[in-house]
């Protein structure tokens, strides 16, 4: 389905009560088709696709999947069908095979780009979108990733031991960031929404659908952390934000779009640094304050 047709379908779906749409989808079948179990936020079903099979390093730092290798797809119910958006983490050799499979299934590619610089091996990020039968779209995504990449679908092996405590002053990070972070896979993560969500085809792009600032801290010892993620900004906010990041000695690694038809037009700013975690948090917060971010 073309982007314009997808938008028309989405816009039409706004007229139908979303609860009825949600109830008409058998999410267990969608789970089975994708080979994953979703995390549910409101009506959004989000599936994590971390590249735990990859061993990526940047400036000597081993990158945990939760820091920068966390692919995902998310489905939102729409008139008995669903809209899907996602971000797939791929090697260069995997990009074309996965793209071809997705296009052949009727899904759309909305962006391909880097997030990091100097990482070995280099990873790329493919954004996908579509509207239709969620079970069929989930099966198409599973087939594309299974045949075109080595993206794992089996859950990682777990041990009985508790997750180790993060070597970070998380209470102080929360205070500086004006938000409450979450420890996931050895990384301390913040998801900070904008004051007003962007819309795609008349529907709000929620945080679960990729519509929030994502800030990740991975401990590197002695109170230091490697940080990366992305800021979600309008065009007039791009340069004020990147100037603030550079003032905080934070490297800007990518500036690009993720979607095709959102309103207002949004840009995603990716970044990297490895330094004192509290210093970096102050730099990140100063950058956020240059944008229309939601205030707690």
- The predicted structure's pLDDT at residue 198: 84
Give the count of beta carbons closer than 10 Å to the beta carbon of residue 148. 20
The string of pLDDT tens digits covering residues 13-29 is: 333 334 444 458 999 99
Contact status, residue 186 vs residue 168, Cβ threshold 8 Å: no
Spatial CA neighbour of 57 closest among 258, 280, 272, 215: 272
Question: Which own/partner pairs from 60-65 qualify as long-range (CB within 8 Å, at least 24 positions apart)?
Answer: 61/218, 61/220, 61/226, 61/274, 63/116, 63/119, 63/218, 63/226, 64/185, 64/186, 64/187, 64/218, 65/185
What are the distances in angstroms from CA 281 to CA 32, 62, 128, 227?
A: 40, 21, 31, 9
> How far apart (Å, rounded) are the C-alpha atoms in residues 45 and 38?
5
Whole-prediction pTM: 0.88
Angle (deg, nearest 10), helices 170-177 and 277-288: 20
> How far apart (Å, rounded) are the C-alpha atoms in residues 226 and 59?
10
Percent of residues, the chain, with pLDDT higher than 70: 89
For the cut 80, the answer to whether the pLDDT of residue 134 exceeds it is: yes
For residue 5, what pLDDT band results from cuts at 50, 70 and 90? very low
The string of pLDDT tens digits covering residues 85-112 is: 999 999 999 999 999 999 999 999 999 9
Q: What single-letter DSSP state applies at residue 182?
A: E
For the cut 90, the answer to whether the pLDDT of residue 211 exceeds it is: no
């Amino acid at each position: 389905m073309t982007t314009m047709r997808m938008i028309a379908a989405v816009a039409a779906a706004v007229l139908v009560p979303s609860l009825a749409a949600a109830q008409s989808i058998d999410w267990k079948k969608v789970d089975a088709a994708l080979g994953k179990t979703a995390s549910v936020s409101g009506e959004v079903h989000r599936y994590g696709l971390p590249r735990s099979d990859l061993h990526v390093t940047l400036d000597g730092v081993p990158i945990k999947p939760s820091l920068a290798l966390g692919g995902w797809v998310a489905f939102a119910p729409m008139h008995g069908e669903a809209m899907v958006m996602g971000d797939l983490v791929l090697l260069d050799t995997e990009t074309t095979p996965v793209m071809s499979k997705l296009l052949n299934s009727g899904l759309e590619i909305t962006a391909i780009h880097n997030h990091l610089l100097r990482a070995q091996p280099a990873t790329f990020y493919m954004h996908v979108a579509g509207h239709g039968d969620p079970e069929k779209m989930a099966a198409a995504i599973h087939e594309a990733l299974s045949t075109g990449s080595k993206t794992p679908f089996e859950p990682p092996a777990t041990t009985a031991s508790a997750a180790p405590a993060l070597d970070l002053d998380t209470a102080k990070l929360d205070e500086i960031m004006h938000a409450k972070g979450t420890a996931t896979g050895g990384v301390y993560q913040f998801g900070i929404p904008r004051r007003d969500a962007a819309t795609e085809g008349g529907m709000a792009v929620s945080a679960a659908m990729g519509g929030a600032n994502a800030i990740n801290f991975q401990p590197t010892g002695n109170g230091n952390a490697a940080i990366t993620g992305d800021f979600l900004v309008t065009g007039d906010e791009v340069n004020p934000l990147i100037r603030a990041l550079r003032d905080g000695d934070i490297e800007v690694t990518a500036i690009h779009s993720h979607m095709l038809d959102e309103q207002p037009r949004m840009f995603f700013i990716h970044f990297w640094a490895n330094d004192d975690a509290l210093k970096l948090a102050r730099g990140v917060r100063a950058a956020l304050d240059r944008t229309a971010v939601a205030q707690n």
